[in-house]
Amino acid sequence: MDRILIRGGNRLQGRIFISGAKNAALTLMPCALLTDEPLTLRNLPRLADVDSFGHLLNQLGASTAIEGSRPEDFGRVMTIRAGRLTSTEAPYDIVRKMRASILVLGPLIGRAGEATVSLPGGCAIGNRPIDLHLKAMEAMGAEIELAAGYVKAVAPGGRLPGGRVSFPVVSVGATENALMAAVTARGGTVIENAAREPEIVDLCNCLVAMGASISGIGTETLEIEGRDRLHGATYAVMPDRIEAGSYACAAAITGGSVELAGAEANDMRATIAALVEAGVSVEEGKGSIKVSADGPLRPITLSTAPFPGFATDMQAQFMAMLCKADGASVLTETIFENRYMHVPELARMGADITVTGRSAVVRGVAGLVGAQVMATDLRASMSLIIAGLAAEGETQVSRVYHLDRGYERLEEKLSAVGADIERIGDG
């Protein structure tokens, strides 16, 4: 398993190109299942999860051709052709490795009138059930049965009637599955308390480009008129707001100044507000954001929430940055029940963090010390990288396969702005 070695202390200076968003790519790719025409996605990030999703689509009978991308280009072009499905089953061995595989549920029902998907099981940050996904399918008329660790969903007569989906709590994935099942339903569907993340807007825009009828895009109430069929399209994946926010924290903790090329400030209002409150300067340019920190970082109080609130996917990265603030910060994680796996690892680097229930008090320390640490989940691993960039001495992060799921060419992007970082392959 690869490890990443960082010798901390360098101020990051320069430009980082932001890749296409992982969490948009993983919901745009299954859209191809909804039509027998090709869907071409541009600005697709080179990530392990994108590759895994491609393999899942292949198992269902879709082809995934990567086109015309030079090695030095960020972002790939992939054309997905699901002219004829050969399976409607997402097997356990794929779903257990990547829970986003559940996002084939809605499009398979929308295209083939049925889907059999392995229950994803939990992951490091929580047990992450899919009850809301299943309730949404039932609300649109699907018959659901659970057996032997799989869920089978069937649209009576081969096509969902549609209906009213009212989510008791906001769920990004369940909103995505509901949208992808509703766009080809026989009738109309209303989704209430829908997630409003920018990735949901990207999904809606892609579905509309494919001929879907969706109103209320970007709000918590979505109205969909089912279409008999959707057509192919070419669509560019939105920039990754979490990758951009992660590199902003890296620039800030090192007292550097980094331009995040391609970042979309409107997707990151809560992150930007928190950075500014922490004493970081943020300048919004045309198609980029410049983040600089020349003074001390200030402690802040943060609570994660669904969009437009502060993203749970940014919590670990802010925690790392705030380890160097002048005072005590309080972070509260309201979305997942176990998203503090990075705390003991940061403590090994000299951080002073106390977790009580859902909240963590981060007392700033004068300096962090490099150590051997272990990545446990995607965003936790990024928090260790961020801490390592500012730590004195050498930090070695193991199990970096977690990182490769969500950060394209991390060492390359950080080296380009002055970080002393390298990957050691263990074969």
384 binds ligand EPZ (CB under 6 A): no
What CA–CA distance (Å, rounded) separates 76 from 354? Answer: 42
Asked if 206 is an active-site residue, the reply is no
43 binds ligand EPZ (CB under 6 A): no
Look up tokens 């008129």; give the residue.
225
CB 316 within 8 A of CB 339: yes
What CA–CA distance (Å, rounded) separates 205 from 214? Answer: 9
Of 226, 27, 412, give the one whose Cα is nearest residue 422: 412
How many chain residues interact with ligand EPZ (CB under 6 A)?
23
Determine which residue in the list 81, 111, 133, 402 makes contact with ligand EPZ, applying CB under 6 A: 133
Least Å distance between CB 102 and ligand EPZ? 8
Q: Which among 123-131, 220-228, 294-302, 368-376 is the span making contact with ligand EPZ, rule CB under 6 A? A: 123-131
What CA–CA distance (Å, rounded) separates 403 from 417? Answer: 19
Determine which residue in the list 46, 81, 111, 379 makes contact with ligand EPZ, applying CB under 6 A: 379
Query: In this chain, which residue has its C-beta nearest to ligand EPZ?
Result: 173
CB 258 within 8 A of CB 247: yes
Question: Which CB atom, from 126 or from 350, has the smaller least distance to ligand EPZ?
Answer: 126
What values do phi and psi take at 293, rounded to 5? Answer: -140, 105
What CA–CA distance (Å, rounded) separates 253 from 329? Answer: 15
Look up tokens 């057996």; give the residue.
147
x/- letters, 21..40, toward ligand EPZ (CB under 6 A): -xx--x--------------
- Active-site entry in 31, 123, 206, 249: 123
173 binds ligand EPZ (CB under 6 A): yes
CB 275 within 8 A of CB 248: yes
142 binds ligand EPZ (CB under 6 A): no
Question: Which CB atom, from 293 or from 340, has the smaller least distance to ligand EPZ?
Answer: 340
What CA–CA distance (Å, rounded) separates 73 from 75? Answer: 6
3-state secondary structure of 102: helix
Q: Which residues contact 93 (CB under 8 A, 6 or more apart)?
A: none
CB 206 within 8 A of CB 31: yes
Of 275, 243, 277, 276, give the one whose Cα is nearest residue 262: 243
Site for ligand EPZ in 80-109 (CB under 6 A): 100
Question: Which CB atom, from 224 or from 335, has the smaller least distance to ligand EPZ?
Answer: 335
Least Å distance between CB 119 and ligand EPZ? 11
Determine which residue in the list 132, 289, 341, 346 makes contact with ligand EPZ, applying CB under 6 A: 132
Cross-strand partners of 353? 362
Question: Which CB atom, from 308 or from 344, has the smaller least distance to ligand EPZ?
Answer: 308
Instruction: Calculate ∠ Cα 101-106-109, nearest 5°.
Output: 120
Determine which residue in the list 312, 376, 383, 395 makes contact with ligand EPZ, applying CB under 6 A: 312
Question: Which CB atom, from 195 or from 414, has the smaller least distance to ligand EPZ?
Answer: 195
Q: Which among 85-93, 171-179, 268-276, 393-401 is the span making contact with ligand EPZ, rule CB under 6 A? A: 171-179
Chain residues in the site for ligand EPZ (CB under 6 A): 22-23, 26, 100, 126, 128-133, 169, 171-174, 312-313, 335-336, 378-379, 406
Which residues are known catalytic residues? Answer: 123
